[in-house]
Amino acid sequence: MTVQLVQVQKILGDRLGKDVYFYSISIDPKNDTPQALREYREKFGARWTFLTGKTTDIIKLRKKLGLYIDEIQDGSSLSSKCSS
């Protein structure tokens, strides 16, 4: 997804950060430290903000944004597919 957003970033040019804002939210805060996110951002040349925090806060934010699906988060959809 980051690669695709970098392409959109190129299309937006100077509008990114002025008229249009991107935010990437970690879904793995144990491993996505601020340093790891900084390195990831630099690796792709992303000019938007990458966010991390406490797991409970991220889950709350994702739920409010409609980006949280219980079956994906807890792995139950994966285990039911594997047992089929």
The pair of three-digit structure tokens given for residue 60, joined into one six-digit string: 């709350």
What pLDDT, on a 0 to 100 scale, did the predictor assign at position 15?
96
**Burial class for 52, CB neighbours closer than 10 Å (0-12, 13-18, 19+):** buried
Q: What's 78's DSSP letter?
A: H
Residue 51 has a pLDDT of: 93
Q: Are 27 and 62 in contact (CB under 8 A)?
A: yes
Q: What's the number of CA atoms in the CB half-sphere (13 Å) around residue 72?
A: 8
pLDDT of residue 43: 97
Query: Residue 51: in which H helix or E strand, if any?
Result: strand 49-51
pLDDT tens for 10-61 read 999 999 999 999 999 998 889 999 999 999 999 999 999 999 999 999 999 9
For the chain, the domains span 2-75
Residue 8: per-residue pLDDT: 97
- pTM reported for the whole predicted model: 0.72
